[in-house]
Amino acid sequence: MTDAENRKPQSDEARTTFDPEVTSEFAIPEGLAVPRQGAESETSSEFAVPEGLDVPSPADAEPEGSAFSPPSTYSARGAPAAFTPATGVPVVRLTKDVPWQDRMRTMLRLPVAERPAPEPGPKAEEGGPAVPRVLDLTLRIGELLLAGGEGAEDVEAAMFAVCRSYGLDRCEPNVTFTLLSISYQPSLVDDPVTASRTVRRRGTDYTRLAAVYQLVDDLSDPESHISLEEAYRRLAEIRRNRHPYPTWVLTAASGLLAGAASVLVGGDAIVFFAAALGAMLGDRLAWLCAGRGLPEFYQFVVAAMPPAAMGVALTLAHVDVKASAVITGGLFALLPGRALVAGVQDGLTGFYITAAARLLEVMYLFVGIVVGVLVMLYFGVQLGAQLTPDAAMSIAERPVVQITASMLLSLTFAVLLQQERATVLAVTLNGGVAWSVYGAMHYAGDLSPVASTAVAAGLVGLFGQLLSRYRFASALPYTTAAIGPLLPGSATYFGLLSIAQNEVDEGLGSLTKAAALAMAIAIGVNLGSEISRLFLRLPGGSAEGRKAAKRTRGF
CB of 353 closer than 8 Å to CB of 473? no
Average pLDDT over residues 303-331: 84
Secondary structure in 3-state letters for 201-265 = CCCCCHHHHHHHHHHHHHHHCCCCCCCHHHHHHHHHHHHHCCCCCCHHHHHHHHHHHHHHHHHHC
Q: pLDDT digits over 270-284, tens only?
A: 889 988 999 999 999
Query: Is 466 or 501 the better-scoring residue by pLDDT?
Result: 466
Q: pLDDT digits over 376-402, tens only?
A: 888 887 887 776 655 554 566 778 888
Q: Is the pLDDT of residue 12 over 60?
A: no
Q: What is the predicted pLDDT for the residue at 139?
A: 93
User: Is the pTM for the entire model greater than 0.75?
Assistant: no
Going edge to edge, which strands form the sheet with 193-198? Answer: 171-175, 179-184, 193-198
First CA to last CA distance, the chain: 77
| Band of residue 34 on the pLDDT scale cut at 50, 70, 90 | low
Query: Is 474 or 368 the better-scoring residue by pLDDT?
Result: 368
Q: Is the pLDDT of residue 546 over 60?
A: no
What proportion of the chain, given as a percentage, has pLDDT over 90? 8
| Band of residue 314 on the pLDDT scale cut at 50, 70, 90 | confident
Max Cα separation, the chain? 138
For residue 197, list its beta bridge partners: 180
| Band of residue 369 on the pLDDT scale cut at 50, 70, 90 | confident
Q: Chain-wide mean pLDDT for the chain?
A: 75
| Band of residue 104 on the pLDDT scale cut at 50, 70, 90 | low
The domain locations on the chain are 100-240, 247-535
CA-based nearest residue to 187, from 173, 171, 174 = 171
Q: How far apart are CA 245 and CA 287, in angstroms?
A: 15
Exposed/middle/buried for 133, CB within 10 Å: 0-12, 13-18, 19+? middle
Average pLDDT over residues 211-226: 85
**Number of residues assigned to the chain:** 555
Write down the number of H helices and E strands in the chain.
19, 3
Count of beta carbons in the 10 Å neighbourhood of residue 190: 15
Q: What is the predicted pLDDT for the residue at 71?
A: 47
For residue 174, list its beta bridge partners: 181
Average pLDDT over residues 355-370: 87
Can you tell me whether residue 175 is helix, strand or coil? strand
